[in-house]
Structure 1
Amino acid sequence: MTIEQYGWNESWQNKWSEKHHEQEQEGNRRIPGRITGDFGSKYRVMTETGETWGELAGRLRHTLTDSGEFPAIGDWVTLAMQDGGEHAVIHGVLPRHSVISRKVAGNTQVEQIVAANVDTLFLVSALNDDFNVRRMERYLIMAWNSGANPVILLTKADLCLDADQKIAEMERAAPGVPIHAVSALLGDGRDKLLPYIRSGQTVALTGSSGCGKSTMVNWLSGQNLQLTQDVREGDSRGRHTTTHRELFVLPDGAIIIDTPGMRELQLWEDDGGLDLAFGDISSLAAECRFSDCKHEREEGCAVLEAVASGVLEEKRLLNYRKTQKELRYQNSKEVKQKRKTAAAAVKAAPRTRNSGWQRVLDEY
């Protein structure tokens, strides 16, 4: 395999050239590599000479100010090879063109990078008891904030008797976002996904446990790359089969990233994702009598009028309000101070699998 097969192209070469030239001038031999596996204290990295294991240079570790700056799955990094190419030291991260992030579970104000440099983000939801429109609205905010293009995959279509109704529900919650119902068991819908898995494109899958992400990886690759398990009977809750993030190359030439299931999604910061995910409410809000309308009890509120007339679902508005409040809190001075404290702890702690801050960042 070559790094070109892992997404290296002219754009990345241009980003590399200036830094690479400077390093050559200093007499330091550096090569690019892409992180294909994140295992906490170590990374698996694909380089021009093949795949190897890498870890952070001490100097780099001490210059990183928060967890969001640490290398993540999908990142292109600067490497110094050691031990005849059997080991690599990571000296830097090339600027990302997209970054999918969330806040770690619980009250800790720490950012967790789900994946980097993704072109298309598959938001996966199964057509069983896992189906949840309100949760998908939150995933869409994360996707729009990332810079990647969101695509909704409704898996396990063979288990659903009212798939058309659920697709219609999702279309109302995600106007303009491509939605595809697929069944890996029956082999239905793969042709619809071909435009997203072209050679050189990077796609990532995210969703709750048991929604079928690892099954999708195996189906699209035609191989058993990832272990899968059946969901629990009764509540369709999944077990954590994927425990770390990994990157694979598909036969079609695309690069696919599988991620552990999320039992909850706490949003990080908003970069316009809220307005894009709730574009219908944003459009209605422009017609409100007052520019600072909160869409609660104000006279002349176009959003409330839309709810009263049945044009807008009340549950969608309630989720919008809840998420808006959450994002405002995330941007508050109180939270920013907590982030500084958490960042200082991250910087001070050694990045090992057993360290306290790493346990916070790991999937639970």
Structure 2
Amino acid sequence: MAVIMWRAITGLIILCASLIHAAVPVPNGTVAADLLSPDYYKDTCPQLYHTLSGVILTAVKTDIRIAASLLKLHFLDCFVQGCDGSILLVETAKIRSEQRASHNMHTVRGLNVVYDIKRAVEAVCPATVSCADILALSAQVASVVGGGPTWQVPLGRRDSLTANKFLANQNIPGVAFTVDYLKNSFAAQGLTTTDLVALSGAHTIGRAHCRTFMDRLYDFSGNPDPSMDSTYSDSLRALCPRDGSGANYETYLDFSSPDIFDNGYYMGLQVNQGLLHTDQELYSSTNADTAMLVSNFSSDQKLFFDQFVESMIKMSRIGVLTGSDGEIRHQCDFVNVGIRFPFSYFWLFWTVLVTYICITLC
């Protein structure tokens, strides 16, 4: 009996020690993003990449646009509260969904694919992989599916308990913004002008609805933006009538190779075939620095790919939650249900108490 009691006490002491270790704050000078690692799920969920990529490949077979949608979701997530999966939360009595923000309402796609991925991952690795990590990893797979670059995705993020519609309205760039505004928006996230131009290259496989660029096709007098190639604008005006009847029609952001992840997007900007105002403004006489980057990426696809990878990894580390912050959601569209205590001090207290009682009884 004494041996059994001693083993129980030893186990409790070990558990208590592990909880104390987990409760220790991140050391001074250590940023949460520094705790991320490509090998984070190596032991806890070795099937992750295979499971996730399988769902994406199946989805792409029926909708090629999913690749671009997944890349965009990761961007939208990281620019609001950091890369914490907040974009995936739907509207509830306590959550004001970022999906309903003005720049997101008609453009967010691919959510069901992410939810499908989460269900598939939960089946093989329950309560292990965060939705924020699923978004980051899905963006990498989306790039590869389109023929673009691959990279080692830093993993270990946790999911937020909140969303922020206000920040989404404030932080997500609109299609009519100036380059200076875009620079400031990216700088606020710790990203440079080079990151701005490189990440804009994801538009190489993107699409947009007529309503997002109608102002470039018809001014107050009904004339197209003179900075747009005339043949290109004529084809777009045929697709998107001025009466708005084609508002939901969509077209490619990179007309030359719409479903291939390459540097064709930058080539299009150089011949005035940028679909959105924010695209074409990257290559204009008033923005020499961004125009130079467009030229460099247009002439050297490897340079673009290398910088895209660097910028994606950099973006994916913005404001991440790690350690005991946030949670691992059971499903990506809702926070977990139940009472939450600050870290596990509640359980730490009871573990210490039970250990003390056992020792006293012995």
Higher radius of gyration, 1 or 2: 2
Compute the TM-score of the two structures, normalised by the length of structure 1: 0.27
Greater relative contact order structure (CA < 8 Å, 6+ sep): 2
Compute the TM-score of the two structures, normalised by the length of structure 2: 0.27
**Structure with more of its chain in strand, by fraction:** 1
